[in-house]
Amino acid sequence: MKPADICIAVLVAMIWGLAFIASRIALDELSPELMTALRFTIAAAPCLIVPRPKVSWPVLIAISFTLFLGQFLTQAYGIAGGVPVGLTSVVVQSQALFTIGLAAILFGERPSRMQTIGIAIAAVGLLMICGTVGYDFSVSAFAVLMISPICFAVGNLLLRRAQGVPMFDLSAWLCLVAAIPLLVLTLAEDGVQPTWHALSHMSGVVLLCMLVIGGISTCTAYWLWGRLLRDYPAAQVVPFALLVPFVGSAASSIVFGETFGPLRLAGMLTVVGGIAVMLLSRRAQVLPKVVGA
């Protein structure tokens, strides 16, 4: 990879890691539904100028409801439920484990020996993390969060149905498709008056966080990542996603004073180690092409 593109890959990973921090701050004032709806409403702004990609509506909806709506709404519920941001960033990246597993089950794509070892390592790490659940956050919050990497994995596989279309256009329209039902859900769950009150009394800090999450983390970073995957083999690009949980965890420790007990820290490192084995194996090209927060 060119040095400039390496810098872009590192920058995208840092943006996605820091987006977990921005999400946590925004959730202090906004409900998970409203925060996620605003995220995609902002990110869908390019739909005003870019055409709908040549993808059928059923495929577009299926990808959007898993890769975007399902993944990020359950992330928001998990964080709002008390799951630490650093831990959330690690759990979300376990999507690589589920992507390879589902590809094997649904498409008969047998993982290589190294990928199988990586899956086993990451699974052990998740079990170690599960052993720490129930102390500083609820089991239900963690269970909801675990839906996020599964949706992520399903969306990754569905994304194969939309190959050959401009990534920027596709990302924008996926955001629009996710934003509409999320806005309806917000009004149904929160009510019209509380929703308006939350929007009209939004602090400058939260507004800035939402602009960063929607405009930079979702819209711009996904486009840059897609461009890298267009120009280079996935095996060269995807490993940079390993930086995301490290950035998220480090930033959470600095901003929120998040600490990790020995078992949880060991579990997080084990998950990341397992993901590294999977991503760096020879068959890394079958791994997900879209990652983030």
- Digit-coded pLDDT (tens) for 230-279: 777 666 677 777 788 888 888 888 888 887 778 888 888 888 888 788 77
Which pLDDT tens digit goes with each residue over 140-162?
888 999 999 999 889 888 888 88
**pLDDT beyond 50 at 183:** yes
What pLDDT, on a 0 to 100 scale, did the predictor assign at position 284?
A: 43
More confident site: 163 or 54: 54
pLDDT band of residue 221 (cuts 50, 70, 90) is confident
pLDDT at residue 30 above 90? yes
| Structure confidence at residue 287 (pLDDT) | 46
pLDDT of residue 282: 56
Give the pLDDT band of residue 293 (cuts 50, 70, 90): low
Global pTM reads 0.85
Rounded CA-CA distance 56/161 in Å is 9
**Structure-derived torsion over alpha carbons of residues 277, 122, 19, 150, reported in degrees to the nearest 10:** 110
User: pLDDT at residue 137 above 80?
Assistant: no
Q: How confident is the model at residue 128 (pLDDT cuts 50, 70, 90)?
A: confident
Instruction: Determine the pLDDT at residue 111.
Output: 77
Residue 195 has pLDDT above 90, yes or no: yes
State the average pLDDT over residues 95-124: 82
189: left (phi over 0), alpha (psi -120 to 50) or beta: alpha
pLDDT computed for residue 234 by the predictor: 61
CA dist., res. 149 & res. 93, Å (int): 7
Q: Is the pLDDT of residue 185 over 60?
A: yes
* Residue ranges per structural domain of the chain: 3-286
pLDDT digits (tens, 9 = 90+) for 43-71: 999 999 999 999 899 999 999 999 999 99
Per-residue pLDDT at 91: 86
The pLDDT, as a whole number, for residue 290 is: 46
Q: Is 293 within 8 Å of 248 (Cβ atoms)?
A: yes
Q: Region 168-195: what's the mean pLDDT?
A: 94
| 122, 271 contact by CB (below 8 A) | yes
* Burial of 79 per CB tally in 10 Å (0-12, 13-18, 19+): buried
Mean pLDDT of the chain: 85
Confidence class of residue 85 from pLDDT cuts 50, 70 and 90?
A: confident
Which of 13-27, 51-65, 108-122, 270-284 has the least mean pLDDT?
Answer: 270-284
Residue the block writes with tokens 């929607």: 214
